[in-house]
Structure 1
Amino acid sequence: MTRANAITFAGGTNILELQAGSIITGNVVAFSSADTLRLGGNASASFDVSQIGTQYLGFGIFKKAGSSVWTVTGSNSAAMPWAVNAGTLAVNATMANAIMAVNGGGTLAGTGTVGSVIVAGGGTFAPGNPLGTMTVQGNLAFQSGALYLVQVNPSTSSLANVTGTATLTGGSVQAVFAPGSYLARHYTILHANGGLGGTSFAGLTTAAMPTGLSATLGYGANDVFLNLTAVLGVGTGLAGNSQNVAGAINSYFNGGGALPPGFLPLFGLSGASLSNALSQLSGEATTGAQQAGIKLTNQFLTLMLDPYAYGRGGVFAGGNAGTGGALALASEEALPPEIALAYAKVMKAPATPMPATVAPQWSAWGGAFGGTSKTQGDAVAGSHDLTAKTGGFAAGLDYKVAPGTVMGFALAGGFTNWDLAGGIGGGSGDAFQAGLYAVTRPGPWYLAGALSFSQHWMKTERTAFAGNRLEGRFDAQSYGGRIETGWRVATPLGGVTPYAALQAQSFHAPGFAESDLNGGSFGLAYASRNANATRSELGARFERLVAVSDTALVSLQARAAWAHDWVSDPTLTPTFQALPGASFVVAGATAVPDLALVSAGAELRLAGGWSLAGRFDGELAGRGQTYSGTGTVRYAW
């Protein structure tokens, strides 16, 4: 094709600057190779480099000037030295012999091919549009103050692929992150076939870095890597449980694991939103099973060893004669006449100050029990307030094996229910309980003991981050024992019995895995757990007998004591099922060690061996309270 010359330079050193909107239909002929073809202006435009040598003839210098972005396309194999002095030159062309000098204020970008590149101080090399690969057919060198600009998205990054060597000394990297959920932790941002010559970048800065991630540079023999490190929650003052969950997620990601998509929105959260989400993931709700199980066993042991139960003691019995049971008064204690008369009618015995024969040998009883407790969480540990409810029905049989000695057994069916504050979750359970007990009183002192076993069928429920519902089911067992001794002192107002007791329990929960009902990958697998609870008690019991008619007596009862508990910390070790090896420790609300025990109750004892009783018990402390009650009916014969 023959084209007329539109511009012909004659003499001197000339510059032709093209700006956006420039239209030249003919040839442009330079005077010599000292003439410059310059792409300039302030508006973006494009240029086909295949026109150099065909339409633009004889130019030997090529520059980019002005703040504009010029995109060059096409292909040209000529040796062309380019200087990028200002704005951006986006090379989407093949210019394998074009040597690029990127000077201060200039940016070289694009996904094409260029010759060797030198980036001076203040200059920027930014391969990609913005993502993609630019090929450097030659060497790449960064001078002091030069910038290597890398674009990153969740799946890939921009890259410079250098066929020669790359000299990095003096340059620095800026990584700009696109919005999104980042699964990858390892990006190759520069490759040089000829190696890096032992050089490295002077530093790294980031822009729009996703919350919960940090970036570092890594180096191989021929590559530069951008490595993402999960730092979810690091340095944000998270409470213990939340930080432990974040640590497990961080460790999994940093160890090379790919996070399931459900976890990725966590990295966009901060402050209270992040703390709440991590708390929901922690599985803390399951820690309430321990306290609920211990409370249920405690109530069962207390019910079996009720020292005031009809047929076991109180002022009905004379010590060695043992008519009233093991917890009787000393034989020398005499009843007031009106009470002795009522006693005689109730017991079908002569109205003597003290009965002399053993009347009831057997006693059958049934009772309902229940209670509620609240334990405060710990803000530092990240545990939440725990409310536990327990209840059930028990039945038992006493037998007087000897004067002053009663043995018996009891069976019970019960339930547990617990909830954590803040919507963290909770659980429930059904239980079967069995126990053996014995009390003996050879004189004013007594000794009592009980053993119990509980089988629990428990279920946990919680709602995790993003509304995912999770359930867990497991069978647990409780073993308990209590031993108590005291000395009864008769006073004009009634009996006073200082006592001491020691109680021990063991709660075993097996390992189990939750079911994720919404498929959010947040299900946890819990390691098995053994928890122990030991209690010492020092206090006194009080009793006063009142005749309400000539066929009925009322026993008024009370207790005041101090208890000290040694309870295993309610901690569990869960693992995210979707993140193998991502285990952590979660702590629940810790039981209060020192408590004031108070009780008040009454028993109505009727003629014919029947009795009805009710009692209130309280365990009081600054960070936790338990309130419970029992109601029993008993028949002795």
Structure 2
Amino acid sequence: AKIWTQGDNSSGIFAQSVGGGGGSGGFAGSLGIGLGGGGLGVSVGGSGGAASNAGTVAVTSYNNILTNGKDSFGILAQSVGGGGGNGGFAIALSGSKDLAGSVGVGGSGTSGGDANIVTVDSHGNIETDGDGSHAIFVQSVGGGGGNGGFAVSGSLGGTGSLSVALGGGGGAGGDAKSVTVTSTGNLRTEGGKADGILAQSVGGGGGNGGFTGALAIVGDGGAIGVGVGGTGGGGGDGDVVTATSIGNIVTIKANSNGILAQSVGGGGGVVTAGTDGIIEAVNGGSGNGGKVTINSNVAMVITGDNSVGVFGQSIGGGGGVGGHVGNFLGLEQASVMPTPQGFSGSAGGSGTGGGIEFTQTADLDVTGKNSFALMEQSAGGTSNGDIKVTIATGVKITGGSGAGAGVNFKDGNNNLLTNNGLVRSVLLIDGYAMRGGDGNDTFDNYFATVGSVGLGGGLNTFNNKATALYLMGDTVDLGLTGQLNNDGLAAPGGLDRVMTTEVNGSWSQAATGVYLLDLDLDPEADRIDVTGTADVNGFVNINIMEPGAASPGNENYIILHALGGVTDKGLKLNSIPSAVAQYSLKYPNPEDVVLNVDINFARAGLTENQTAVGSAINAIQTDLTSPNFTKIASAIFYIPTLDQLGAVYDTISGEGVSGFQQPEFDANSTFQAAMNRQSDAWRMGMATDPMIQSVAVPETAYAEPPGKANPFDDMVKAPDERRWNYWATAGGNSGVVSGDPVVGSAGLGYKSGNFAAGLDSQGDPDILMGFALGGVASSFAVPDRETSGNIVGGHAGAYGARKWGQFYINGSLAMDLYSNTTDRFTSVPGAPDPLNPVPAISREHWTGDFMSAGFGTTLEAGWRQPVGSGAITPFAGLQFSALSMQGFSEESADGGALGLDFEHRTIISLPVSLGLQLDTSVAVGETATLQAWGRAAWLHEFRPDRSVEPTFQAAPGYAFVVQGAAAAQDAVAVNAGVKLNWSSNTSVFATFDGKFADRVQTYGGNVGFRVNW
């Protein structure tokens, strides 16, 4: 079923028991207008009847209720002792040119009888949309009065104006009884001053004090507007108030609470004065407040200003809560004239405030200005009761901005907030999690608290338990004698926000405690300033906010300062391991704890190549002008060990690209060796040219009989006029060059195929000159740097030889041009462990395409000494080669962060050799000759380095040099070959070459032919 009312003062369900008769008081209206001396309008509403006790009121509703209108409650249930019920309604208006006075007095309930028990059990949804329209309004009011009279007065005056409105007061005496509200449906109010549940047990009269409006307007004189809520009479006690809500509660506008539960002894309740009215506690009666129990199993959304999610209040000695319109909680000044900021508490009569105890088991979302998710108060003229509030596990408590907070304890005695959920305000770190009053407040945080805390003037303690998190605002005010005990995790400013937190009181961190420190390498860090003493144990956990902004150097940060002195009881650092950053704690004076941070991307213990990379990064991070490098620096920052850091430097260095150099030097040497081998064959008489070849004369028909010498046997056949020789050769070679652990270079492997062809001429019996062309195709790999490449090149050269008897000099020169392609794979691991995890730079593929050019020359001198059928030739040689690479930029089809630009660079090779050659020849058949030779030499390289000069594409302008696998400084070079002269003008040959050293091994072979004409 559904109940729907329209119009003001039209409640869905109205259940009332009023002792002594009277019911609702009368209505009065008055108007006075004066143009001369003044005008006065007075209106007095009727009062309730004489005293007697009220009966019980019980409402059970399964209806959905909707009301449209002001002061139209979903359910209104009252038990009012002593008569009166709803006080009278009065209006007074007066106007005058010089003086206007207007008085409106609502009717009062008479004194006497007790109220009785009121019970409401609602199972339907209730929605109201008018101002002052509570969803459920339940009262037990002793001593008469009920709802105090409604009074409105207004006055207009040219010179002066006075306007007074008095709500009807409850009669004296009677006690209130218990009030119990249970709501399982959803409650929603859309008007101002409209609570979800308002439950009151008010002893001594008063009930809901009269609503008053006061207006005074003058042209040039003074104006006084006074609104006084109805007061309870003396005597009666409030009783137990129990409010249980299971459905959701939503209130939209200002001054609208989710649940307001009051037990007031001695009169009072809720008072709302006019727009600029004076709020004043009048005639506080004697009486005790009862216990207030709230079972809030409901999620609430409270959006209006000056509102509370769950407001529990137990007042002795008269009182309650009041404020002017738009300022229900009294946290803002009136807008026209200075007024008190409102009233909440005891009016000062004799009596005690009762205890307040409840558990919040559902979320509260209270977002308005000067609003609280939870506000609890126990106050009495004689003494205050204890407040105990528990927030259940997983529950989120969110309070408002301005002077609001998540939780507010007012007065009380020994108060305890136990938080197993989350307490915060809408401003988070910049707001207040909790505010306190003059009671002794203890805040036990077992899970999470966010924001500042201000606990007033009592003996206060904040206990951050071992399982808890406290994200501290800029203020933790516990009073001078207060204590913050951190057994859990405390973080000024929360995560990733540097803040200085001022702690008024003392600080103690246990062995389980953690100070979570945000460190911004800009540089600044979190700090805690304590007015008292500080005992420090446990840990300082360092959270690096922007590791990509880490700049090399040494910095000191004051992280805790205590005016009363610091006592170190075992404080330790806890940080994510980093080979780049080193941390330490220092105590330079009795008041300070200092964090020392040393950052260096090129620490001692790295290889030469790794140091080159680290030094470049130091330069980049010192300047911090390369934002694209931030991602790389962040990942590098958290590499835990020096060995791992070096390995990362190796993979990002581009060292492997230098692998093209040694194959190209070898290709140049192989080409020149092919040319010089023709000179060797010529000068050793091993060529096919008949001018340098001895041939036996064949026997004739006129030969002497056997046994008799032929006189022509020793004659030499006349040489042919053959001066030109053509030759060609093809072969391959491979090499392995080990890296250097000190330099930090990686091993290189390569293989090549080559060919060469040339033409030479003997213009003089002692001089040979020739030229040649050649080509090469090579590949190389540097596995430890995940780099490989391919080379295609060509050669052009000239060679020559000169003999002076047994002494000779031969030489060659060659020019080379190469096309190079490279493939490089690289990555940097991430760091999942920091509070702000750093993602890995996953495996990237970068390619290069560039040209290089080489030039080389050789010179060899020796002495050929015939021995038997062969010869021994000692020799010495010198070779100079230069290889120039084109600058280029790597490319990646998938993009990436780790690409490199390589600078133009020229590499030099300068080996010298000293060796010995043996050669011989034997006849094969009648016309062929087989010739063989072998040579070995000691080879010393003066310029063994092979290097490249890259820069990070993410940080242009910071070049560094890294060394690749170097040539052997000292090696043994061997060459051996055979040549078959199988006709007078044609020969074929095969050769083997090798070079051997500690870290170098190369092998090669060629075959070829030579033709002369």
TM-score by length of 1: 0.76
2:807 aligned residue (434, 445, 455):
445
- The equivalent residue for 1:418 is 780
Q: Is the 8 A contact 1:88 1:109 kept in 2?
A: no
Question: Are 1:407 and 2:773 an aligned pair?
Answer: no
Higher radius of gyration, 1 or 2: 2
- CA shift at 1:495, angstroms? 1.6
Q: Cα deviation per residue 1:53-87 (whole Å; 9 max; x = unaligned)?
A: x997642665667x966736689877557765754
Q: 1:483 to 1:366 in 2, by over 3 A?
A: same
Q: Which residues of structure 2 form unaligned runs of 5+? A: 1-197, 201-261, 264-288, 292-313, 317-349, 363-373, 426-431, 552-556, 586-592, 699-711, 828-841
From 470, 492, 497, the counterpart of 1:109:
470
Structure 1 match to 2:975 = 599
**The residue matched to 2:649 in structure 1 has which SS?**
helix
**Cα pair 1:32 1:59 within 8 Å, conserved:** no
Say yes or no: does 1:293 pair with 2:664: yes
Aligned to 2:309: none
Amino acid across the alignment from 2:767: T
- Alignment partner, residue 862 of structure 2: 486
Q: 2:581 aligns to what?
A: 214
* Bigger RCO of structures 1 and 2 (CA < 8 A, at least 6 apart): 1
Stretch deviating more after TM superposition (485-494 or 19-28): 19-28
Q: Which amino acid in structure 1 is aligned with residue 789 of structure 2?
A: G
Q: Distance in 2 between matches of 1:536 and 1:623?
A: 18
Q: 1:165 to 1:423 in 2, by over 3 A?
A: closer
**Residue matched to 2:620:** 252
Q: 1:469 to 1:21 in 2, by over 3 A?
A: closer
Contact 2:728 2:757 in 1 (8 A): yes
User: Please, which moves more after superposition, 144-153 or 423-432?
Assistant: 144-153
Partner of 2:742: 380
Aligned to 2:756: 394
- Of 278, 284, 303, 2:674 maps to 303
Distance 2:953 2:532 in 1: 45
Deviates more, 1:387-396 or 1:144-153: 144-153
Per-residue deviation, 1:493: 3.3
Runs (5+) with no aligned partner, structure 1? 219-223, 329-334, 343-349
Q: Which residue of 2 aligns with 1:496?
A: 872
The answer to whether the Cα contact below 8 Å between 1:20 and 1:43 also exists between their aligned partners in 2 is no
What CA distance in whole angstroms lies between the structure 2 residues aligned with 1:157 and 1:61? 44
Asked if the contact 1:19–1:45 (Cα under 8 Å) also holds between the matched residues in 2, the reply is no
Could you say what secondary structure the match of 1:252 adopts?
helix
Residues 352 and 446 (structure 1), Cα distance of their counterparts in 2 relative to 1, 3 Å cut: farther
Deviation at residue 355 of structure 1 after TM alignment: 6.2
1:135–1:634 Cα change, 3 Å: closer
Offset at residue 426 of structure 1 (A)? 2.0
What's the Cα RMSD here? 5.2
Q: Which moved more, 1:533-542 or 1:121-130?
A: 121-130
1:321-370 C-alpha deviation (Å, 9 max, x unpaired)? x933xxx9xxxxxx6xxx6459xxxxxxx975656757421111111132
* Cα drift, residue 524 of structure 1: 0.9
1:56-455 alignment, distance < 5 Å:
58-59=411-412, 71=423, 79=437, 87=445, 92=450, 98=456, 102=462, 109-110=470-471, 116=477, 123=486, 126-127=490-491, 130-131=494-495, 149-150=515-516, 176=541, 182-183=547-548, 185=550, 206-207=573-574, 209=576, 211-212=578-579, 214=581, 234=603, 238-249=606-617, 251-253=619-621, 255-256=623-624, 257-258=626-627, 259-261=629-631, 264-266=634-636, 269-270=639-640, 275-306=646-677, 311-314=682-685, 323-324=691-692, 340-341=696-697, 352=714, 357=719, 359-422=721-784, 424-455=786-817
Q: Residue in 1 aligned with 2:991?
A: 615
- After superposition, the Cα gap between the structure-2 partners of 1:396 and 1:290, relative to the gap in structure 1 and judged at 3 Å, is same
2: CA distance, partners of 1:22 / 1:403: 113
Q: Matched residues in 2 for 1:41 and 1:26: separation?
A: 13
**Aligned-partner SS, 2:290:** strand
> What's the CA shift for 1:607?
2.4
| Superposed displacement of residue 448, structure 1 | 0.8
The 5 A counterparts of 1:412-561 are 412-422=774-784, 424-465=786-827, 466-561=842-937
Cα distance in 2 between the residues matched to 1:252 and 1:539:
50
Measured at CA, do residues 137 and 289 of structure 1 come closer, stay the same or move farther in structure 2, by a change above 3 Å? closer
- Taking only the aligned residue pairs, the percentage that are identical comes to 23
Whole-angstrom CA distance in 2 between matches of 1:541 and 1:51 = 100
For the residues of structure 2 that align with 1:160 and 1:13, how far apart are their CA atoms? 45
Show the 5 A alignment for 1:22-61.
28-29=378-379, 37=387, 58-59=411-412
CA gap of 1:68–1:600, structure 2 versus 1, over 3 A, is same
Task: Mark the CA change 1:178 to 1:412 in structure 2 (over 3 Å): closer, same or farther.
Answer: same
Does residue 631 (structure 1) correspond to residue 1007 (structure 2)? The answer is yes
What is aligned with 2:155? none
Q: 2:781 & 2:501 partners in 1: Cα distance?
A: 67
Structure 2 contact 521–544 (Cα < 8 Å) conserved: no
What is the Cα deviation at residue 602 of structure 1?
A: 0.9
Deviation at 1:375, TM superposition (A): 1.0
Question: Following TM superposition, by how much is the alpha carbon of 1:584 offset from its aligned partner in structure 2, in angstroms?
Answer: 3.1
Query: Which range is displaced more, 442-451 or 136-145?
Result: 136-145
Q: CA deviation at 1:494?
A: 1.0
The 2-side partners of 1:32 and 1:22 are apart by 33
Q: Tell me, in whole angstroms, the C-alpha distance in 1 between the residues paired with 2:661 and 2:724.
A: 36
Give the secondary structure class of the aligned counterpart of 2:650.
helix
Partner SS, residue 931 of structure 2: strand
Q: Deviations over 1:133-183 (max 9, x none)?
A: 799997767768798833659999999899x99999987996646799954
Q: CA deviation at 1:413?
A: 1.7
User: Alpha-carbon deviations, 1:402-441, whole Å to 9, x = none?
Assistant: 1210111111122232111336212221212111211011
Aligned residues between the structures: 602
Q: In structure 1, how many angstroms separate the alpha carbons of the residues matched to 2:382 and 2:453? A: 22
Quote the Cα distance in structure 1 between the aligned partners of 2:598 and 2:725: 70
After superposition, the C-alpha distances for 1:250-300 in whole angstroms (9 at most, x for unaligned) are 553454354454665555555676554432212111111221111111111
Offset of 1:480 from its aligned partner?
Answer: 1.0
Secondary structure of 2:908's aligned partner: strand
1:569 to 2:569 alignment:
no
Displacement of 1:15: 11
